[in-house]
Structure 1
C-alpha cells in the first residue's frame, strides 16, 4: 500500500499542515506531470503517468479528514473488522437528522452546522488518541463518527446552497 504521507514527505498524523500538503502537492505535480516527460522512453512516460496519478490520489486523500483517517487506519492494518456504534450515538444521529429536516431557516442550519463542526473536531481529537493507543475498535468507531459528521455537514451545505439559490 502506498503511504501518501511518505510520498508527500509529511509526518503520519491525522492533523496535517494544510499549507505543507498543498506545497508538497504542487512540487510533486510539477516534478511528475506527464507533459514534462514527453520525449522520454515509453516506460519512463508510463512511470510518470503512474506517479502523477498517485500524487493526485494522495492530494485527494490527505486533504479530506475522513479519507485521511481511513488511510491512517489502513496503514496500521486497523481498517478491518466490525464497527459498533453506541446506542447513544445512534440516537444522537437520529436527533441531528430530525433537526436538519426541521431546519427551515438559514440561521437554524448555521447553528446546526456549527454544532456538528464542534462535534467533528472533538471526534477528530478522539480518533488521534485512539490511533496513538492502537485501539483499533475505538479508532474505527471514531472514524465512523467522522464519516457521519462529514456526510451530514455536506447535506447542510447543499441545503444552504439551495436556500441561497431561492433567495
Structure 2
C-alpha cells in the first residue's frame, strides 16, 4: 500500500498534468486561429503527451493500491501574445512541472518509497528533455526576431512533429 503523502503528491500531479494538457490545447487553438497550423500541431501533440503523463500517474497510483481523487482543473488562459511569448510561457510552465516532479521525488525519498522513486525517475528525465526542447525553440525564435519567413519555416518544421504515445 502506498503511503498517504506519496498518494497525495501523485493526485496533485495528476491535476497538474491535466492542466498542462488543457493549457497546451488552448495554445494550439490560439495558433490555429492565427493560421499557424504547424505551431498548433506541436502544441496539440504536447497536450496529448501531458494527458499521457496524467494517465501514467493514474495507473501507477491504482497499481500501488492508492485512490485517485480527481479535482477540477483551473481555467487556462485563452489569449496569448507573440509566438515567442507563448513558448516563453511554455518554458515557465515546464519549469513549474519540473519543480513539482522534484518535490514528489523528495517526498518519495523521505517516505523511503523505492518503487515510487524508480517510477518518478522517468519523469525527472522527461522534464530535462521537455525544457531543452522548448529552450531550443525559444532560441530559434529569438534568432529570427519575429521575421515572417522565419516563422513560416518554423511553422512547417513544427508541423512535421508526430505523436508518439509515452511508454
TM-score calculated relative to the size of structure 1:
0.40
